[in-house]
Amino acid sequence: ISLSNLKDNPGSKTWRLRVGRGRGGGMGKTARRGYNGQKSRSGGAPRIGFEGGQTPLRLTLPKRGFVNPKRMVFTPLNLWKLQKWIDDGRLDVSKTLTMKDFVDARLIDPRVKNGLKLLAKEMDGHAFTAKINVEVSRVSAAAKEAIEKNGGSVVTVHYNRLGLRALFYPQKF
């Protein structure tokens, strides 16, 4: 193999179908649209959910449930993932770990809505063994017990959305 005979794998590139360019190509005249009617026209597709004037299904069914506008959505973080980051040397356990440290280590996404919740789910039977001091928004009882069993501590802190942005991006404030 050399630069003179490089080519794509067979089937990896397909040509876009060019329609309406004359009868010789086989896709001319009506350009695969058939004859008259709404769907043969440009922009001639009814909106999604339109059922020809009949009351659409979404309007025939009653509204159900309730969405709480004040609900708190916490980003979950499992202890096994935290342990893996510590074992890989991506987190410094000599100081108190904050949510900012987790964002800087790319352990969580900075687009956190209301904070972070520590959970104690284990992966492949790996137990949590690190001694850490951590500050998070919420923590499950099992996660708190696992951290304190190793001699660590958990502090729950509250940040509103603006406070979280100030924590993650201090240079913007």
Instruction: Count CB-CB contacts under 10 A for residue 53.
Output: 7
Q: How far is CA 95 from CA 5, 49, 99, in A?
A: 57, 56, 13
In a domain, 31, yes or no: yes
* 106 in the same domain as 146: yes
CATH of the domain at 92: 3.100.10.10
In a domain, 7, yes or no: no
Percent of the chain with pLDDT over 70: 98
Segment 45-73 mean pLDDT = 94
Q: What is the pTM of this model?
A: 0.66
* 82 in the same domain as 167: yes
pLDDT given for residue 25 in this prediction: 85
In a domain, 64, yes or no: no
Q: How many CA atoms lie within 13 A of 57 on its CB side?
A: 2
In a domain, 1, yes or no: no
Contacts of 56 (CB under 8 A, 6+ apart): 49, 50
In a domain, 50, yes or no: no
> Number of structural domains, the chain?
2
* 163 in the same domain as 84: yes
Domain that holds residue 34: 15-45
